[in-house]
Structure 1
Amino acid sequence: MPPKKQQEEKKILLGRPGNNLKAGIVGLANVGKSTFFQAITRSPLGNPANYPFATIDPEEARVIVPSARFDKLCELYKPASEVPAHLTVYDIAGLTKGASAGEGLGNAFLSHIRAVDSIYQVVRCFDDAEIIHIEGDVDPVRDLEIINTELRLKDIEFAEKHLEGVQKITKRGGQSLEVKQKKEEAALVEKIIELLKDGQRVYNQSWSSKEVEVINSMFLLTAKPCIFLINLSERDYIRKKNKHLLKIKEWVDKNSPGDLIIPFSVSLEERLSHLSLEEADEELKNLGVESALPKIITTMRQKLDLISFFTSGPDEVREWTIRRGTKAPQAAGVIHNDLMNTFILAQVMKYEDLVELKDEVAVKAAGKMQQKGKEYVVEDGDVIYFRAGAGKN
């Protein structure tokens, strides 16, 4: 008999994203970052000025994650408090060529990127004589190269500094466990430096769980997942055509394989943000298009392999964010550390069962309220009550 095909191992993802997910908006100056921030957060940022570095300190805002399940549970329970899942978005000062060497606001820019879980990279694909381009003309592939190069150069600097610290221990010699581990770490960091010099991003490689632990501790810029937001004119977005799109796709496939491209129009989204929800829906219907913002938010969660579970009752309905594969005690720990440390069991309802049967009493009567222990892996959409010791519930 032919040998069974081995199931492809799931790629171990970098980072430690969770309930407090942070995403940074990056790009060159004057590509639409701050206007995008205004639109996605529906909060004024002042007046995005038409000159580089209008945004000096990263602006921060929480964005509600669109969730039909959360809305339905709120409708069901009519709770006193509704707490949806959110994404914290940072508008980060525009990058410029030479940022890795401290040009412009380079060092501040790069330190702000280190603090986020993921990156929205805004790429300008529209011509507008009134909005200057820091490089003189619109060339998105060149812009992508500039940002990719600056992030890699800074990561090489970070990695070389990290390597120096590791080598201080390996040079002691001896056969201790610490020295052995640091020698393995040094070999990994040297490998990272080589691939960065070769033009590759750390995120797009495959790493073992042991390697991921080391890489996570380094906070590398190119170890963060990136979604490329292609900023089109409103006209191009509506007709779904732009002369730069194919070249951008070819560049991403070569330099950042597996990362996603989402075309959108900052000018359209910004215009919609000044309308009521009803007026915005009517305008989109008239134009025959959809807003890209819900997709931009939910796709980042998918990219990071994040799922939701819910705690629901008349006092509060809340959506919590965890990484797929999280076990029940660790999910409880997202609510409070004490719940993880004193975890006893999880009472789990499936969202579909709860919505169909209308309340948890009916779910329990139907035998669909499950009691799960420490090894239970939480599934997307679970509605959970955690039971814990020391009086925690």
Structure 2
Amino acid sequence: MPPKNKGESIEPKGAVRFGRSKNNLKFGLVGLPNVGKSSFFNLLTEQNAPAENFPFCTIDPNESRCAVADSRFDFLCQHFKPLSEVPAYLHVVDIAGLVKGAHAGEGLGNSFLSHIQAVDGYFHIVRAFDAPEILHVEESVDPIRDMETISHELCQKDLAALEKAIKDEELDVRKSPGYKLSELFTTTMGKVRALLEANKPVRDAAWTTPEVELICKKLYMLLTTKPCVYLINLSADDFVRKKNKWLVKIKSWIDGHGGGAMIPMSVEYEQALHKMRDDPLAYNEAVKTAKSVLPRAIKVAYHELGLIHFLTAGEKEVRCWTVLSGATAPQAAGVIHSDFERGFIKAEVVSFEDWKEYGKNGMAGVRAAGKQRQEGKSYIIKDGDIVHFHFNVTSQKKK
């Protein structure tokens, strides 16, 4: 039976609908100890966070950022040769490894789970290579068991939050004579409980708009509502030959537990490539065998958070400005400066494809071809738009 009204329409699946409405979002690195999280973090950000061969090497989360690869940005930089080049960035956080019983405090688990709560999405790094010299908390490599462990800990933490939310709501009911739990609250909490008890993430279900709003209000920042990208850490040999005995089983498990992007990669191979960066000949030969997946992983995470970027371009600066997908022109202008949003007049917009075709002689060629558009307050910014804002602020903002 179709929904009775628009308020009951089913929202598209995905974790973005549960997320925070911010442009500056963070992506964490989650997994068991010794699966390659800190080494991957170092590769992503070219930092030097400790990455030793023992559990809980990382205690406090390390945080940095990495550039989002964009051929459009590169093209504009080559054209303008600006004094300043500012790409889009993904902010990443290396979180200590979780172990069985983390939700009950094992291995400083409650602290580490709170670090996951503070990010907006996460890479779930899964070890799928045998290496006796690299310790494993379970003494053997079994990616399915390990993913079940992480999933269980996240679900158990969310179940505790669910129980608290229900108790708080029941307390409010007792304080208000004649008031009772709403049917929406009861049915929504029941659906959440069923998923978590089945060791499945909340993002896995089909939810109506009122249900999403209720979950966001009563169960703020549940761990299993966050976007998740699975990185399967293979040996260098398996990565190069594109074969591993676990990959099919891992994909099947992911599909049955909320879905999400699965990216096979190899920290071992990425580290070898990184060491070759000063030897172009050796690097190019290695890349012919297998390319780095770091740019893809960064880009997938960036878009899983619902982020896009528009560009401003000129001889002084070419810059990417990050906004949430669905941002209006005034909201995008506000990312540059609050005055731009407050005094917004219009936005002059050119798609990158049109600029690439007609902008060889500058904006005059684009205008001559009729490809520059004037957009107003209701315009929704598109990924890769090249924008120039017009604004006028003549008085102080009214209080």
Structure 2 equivalent of residue 240 of structure 1:
242
Structure 2 equivalent of residue 253 of structure 1:
255
Structure 2 equivalent of residue 20 of structure 1:
24
Distance in 2 between residues matched to 1:195 and 1:170, nearest whole Å: 25
Q: Is the contact between residue 167 and residue 186 of structure 1 (CA under 8 Å) also seen in structure 2?
A: no
Cα shift at 1:240? 0.8
Q: Is the contact between residue 11 and residue 208 of structure 2 (CA under 8 Å) also seen in structure 1?
A: no
Distance in 1 between residues matched to 2:282 and 2:321, nearest whole Å: 29
Distance in 2 between residues matched to 1:104 and 1:291, nearest whole Å: 33
Structure 1 equivalent of residue 325 of structure 2:
324
For 1:42, the aligned partner's letter is E
Q: Does 1:188 align with 2:188?
A: yes
Once the two structures are overlaid, the 10-residue window that deviates more, 323-332 or 216-225, is: 323-332
Structure 1 equivalent of residue 6 of structure 2:
none
Distance in 2 between residues matched to 1:360 and 1:196, nearest whole Å: 54
| Secondary structure, aligned partner of 1:144 | helix
Q: Does 1:42 align with 2:46?
A: yes
Show CA shifts across 1:296-323 (max 9, x none): 1111223334322112222221112223
Distance in 2 between residues matched to 1:271 and 1:21, nearest whole Å: 30
For 1:271, the aligned partner's letter is A
- When the two chains are superposed, the root-mean-square deviation of aligned CA atoms in Å is 2.4
Show CA shifts across 1:248-271 (max 9, x none): 1111111223x1111111111122
Give the unaligned 5+ runs of structure 2. Answer: 1-9
Structure 1 equivalent of residue 263 of structure 2:
262
For 1:274, the aligned partner's letter is K
Q: Quick one: percent identity of the two aligned structures?
A: 46
| Secondary structure, aligned partner of 1:16 | coil
For 1:21, the aligned partner's letter is L
Structure 1 equivalent of residue 212 of structure 2:
212
For 2:318, the aligned partner's letter is V
Show CA shifts across 1:337-371 (max 9, x none): 33333322211111122222222222223322211
Q: Is the contact between residue 53 and residue 105 of structure 1 (CA under 8 Å) also seen in structure 2?
A: no
Q: Is the contact between residue 38 and residue 270 of structure 1 (CA under 8 Å) also seen in structure 2?
A: no
| Secondary structure, aligned partner of 2:53 | coil
| Secondary structure, aligned partner of 1:94 | coil
Q: Is the contact between residue 184 and residue 211 of structure 2 (CA under 8 Å) also seen in structure 1?
A: no
Structure 2 equivalent of residue 3 of structure 1:
none
For 1:123-162, what aligned pairs fall within 5 Å after superposition? 123-162=126-165
Cα shift at 1:198? 2.7
Sort the Cα spacing of 1:181 and 1:43 in 2 relative to 1 into closer, same or farther, 3 A: same
Q: Is the contact between residue 93 and residue 105 of structure 1 (CA under 8 Å) also seen in structure 2?
A: no
**Equivalent in 64, 75, 90 of residue 61 of structure 1:** 64
Q: What TM-score, normalized by structure 1, do the two folds share?
A: 0.89
Sort the Cα spacing of 1:341 and 1:128 in 2 relative to 1 into closer, same or farther, 3 A: same
Aligned residues: 380
Q: Is the contact between residue 27 and residue 94 of structure 1 (CA under 8 Å) also seen in structure 2?
A: yes
Q: Is the contact between residue 13 and residue 203 of structure 2 (CA under 8 Å) also seen in structure 1?
A: no
For 1:69-218, what aligned pairs fall within 5 Å after superposition? 69-173=72-176, 184-185=184-185, 187-217=187-217, 218=220
Structure 2 equivalent of residue 293 of structure 1:
294
Q: Is the contact between residue 29 and residue 124 of structure 2 (CA under 8 Å) also seen in structure 1?
A: yes
Structure 2 equivalent of residue 4 of structure 1:
none
Q: What TM-score, normalized by structure 2, do the two folds share?
A: 0.88
Sort the Cα spacing of 1:236 and 1:311 in 2 relative to 1 into closer, same or farther, 3 A: same
Distance in 1 between residues matched to 2:182 and 2:281, nearest whole Å: 60
Distance in 2 between residues matched to 1:316 and 1:189, nearest whole Å: 50
For 1:226, the aligned partner's letter is C
